[in-house]
Amino acid sequence: MIVVTGAAGFIGSALLGELERMGYGDLIALDDFSVQAKSANCQNKRITQFVERSEFFGWLSDNSKRIQFIFHIGARTRTDEFDEAVLQLLNVEYSQKIWQACADNNIPLIYASSAATYGDGTQGFSDEPASLDSLRPLNPYGNSKHRFDLWVMEQKKTPPFWAGFKFFNVFGPNEYHKGRMASVVFHAYNQIKETGQVALFRSHNEDFANGAQERDFIYVKDVLSVMMHFLVHRKNSGLYNLGTGTCRTFEDLANAVFAAMDLAPEITFVDMPLDIRDKYQYHTQANMDRLVAAGYKLPFTPLEIAVDDYVKNYLISGQYL
């Protein structure tokens, strides 16, 4: 059995599809399946069993000997979530229980961390363990992920193999349900389809021009490739960045969407919402040295090629991974 938490979400459902394509069977999908907006993500996938998030640990105690691997992708991922109790419960305590179950039952584990742990980037984007204590996330979501990373580093009892991945700006198929939290590629495509224009956030930082805010955008297919590598090889446990190592601007990204739609760019700028303005990252760029040293050597998909694939093969037709 391979267990995927967050199975109805963006990356979790894409991961289930990739595992199926790679020939893995006996896939266990774990999530809160009451959210109807996410139901299409799991349709047409060969899933052995759906397990509700609230029932997982009872189920796990009955099935621990049969579990070969756990991908813990599920979390409360909204960067505008300010309920600390919810984030502590779902992103920290639930993750700790999964870690402890994997350690106790000798189950390999991959879990999702986040580049939101890096805050405003003034401490750099190194995933060296020694740099963790200096990080100051900008929002409660980033703080919750950071607290779990710090807790992991303190553990003497570990799964037989484990890897945590600090996802940078992931985009791609299966994010149709995410609403405001969907990628800029997704929003840009839909804005262009409806109005012929893209509205990007105006910069409220004098060091960045409008549209020049920078992100390390990574295509979900590259994220899946990295996770498949570690599923197969199970070497070099640790916490790793998962970006491309290259930052691009939001204007670059918008232009790539227009190009994929065979349209001339028409970009406008709007004020950033007040609730995220003082907690906004203006620059992210993953340092990928440790991931490469751990054995992952494949190149990452260039932004324009990834956006073209996403738009033409998924967004236009509404296809899923």
Residue 317 in any domain: the answer is no
pLDDT tens-digit profile of 141-189?
A: 999 999 999 999 999 999 999 999 999 999 999 999 998 889 999 999 9
Q: What's the predicted TM-score (pTM) here?
A: 0.95
pLDDT at 79: 66
Residue 183 in any domain: the answer is no
Residue 221 in any domain: the answer is yes
Residues 306-310 have a mean pLDDT of 98
Residue 195 in any domain: the answer is no
What share of the chain has pLDDT > 70, as a percent?
99
Domain ranges, residue 134? 2-172+217-245+285-301
pLDDT at 125: 96
Residue 97 in any domain: the answer is yes
Q: Which residues are catalytic?
A: 141, 178
Number of domains making up the chain = 1
d(CA 307, CA 283): 20
Residue 46 in any domain: the answer is yes
Residue 230 in any domain: the answer is yes
The three state secondary structure string of 52-111 is: EHHHHHHHHHHHHHHCCEEEECCCCCCCCCCCHHHHHHHHHHHHHHHHHHHHHHCCCEEE
CATH code (residue 123): 3.40.50.720
Residue 210 in any domain: the answer is no
pLDDT at 255: 98
Q: Which residues of 249-265 are buried (b: 16+ CB within 10 A; e: fewer)?
A: bbbbbbbbbbebbeeee
pLDDT at 57: 96
